[in-house]
């Protein structure tokens, strides 16, 4: 698949995920921003949160556990290590 088509497919998938999240938040009164970021995920999240003046990062923690997390790493762990902001991980 050509690089530009792959990028467009990734962007479309990201927008679809954000559409679902936005529908869940509709009417909740919770303030949020909607962004599609590119690059290494942990770095992108930590850098964007700091750049935009967030007070904290709240993110889900799922996937690898225990030794698997130590060997494979995870986005949540990368954000924890990279960000100077408080990071809350929820199950």
Query: At a CB cut-off of 8 Å and minimum separation 6, what does 61 contact?
Result: 74, 76, 89, 90, 91
Domain boundaries, the chain: 1-36, 39-91
Quickly state the pLDDT bin for 31 (edges 50, 70, 90): confident
User: What's the CA gap between 49 and 62, in Å, rounded?
Assistant: 20
Is 13 or 62 the better-scoring residue by pLDDT? 13
Name the token pair of 27: 């009417």
Pick the CATH number of 39-91 from 3.40.190.10, 3.20.20.80, 3.40.50.620, 3.40.630.90: 3.40.50.620
Which tens digit of pLDDT belongs to each residue from 42-67? 999 999 999 999 999 998 876 555 66
- Which residues are registered as beta bridge partners of 87? 57
- Give me the mean pLDDT over the 14-30 stretch: 92
pTM: 0.72
């Amino acid at each position: 698949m050509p690089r530009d088509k792959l990028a467009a497919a990734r962007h479309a998938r990201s927008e679809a995920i954000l559409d679902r999240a936005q529908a869940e938040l509709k009417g909740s009164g919770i303030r949020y921003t909607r962004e599609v970021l590119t690059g290494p995920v942990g770095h992108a999240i930590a850098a964007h949160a700091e750049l935009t003046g967030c007070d904290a990062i709240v993110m889900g923690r799922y996937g690898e556990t225990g030794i698997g997390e130590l060997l494979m790493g995870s986005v949540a762990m990368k954000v924890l290590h990279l960000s100077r902001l408080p990071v809350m991980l929820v199950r």
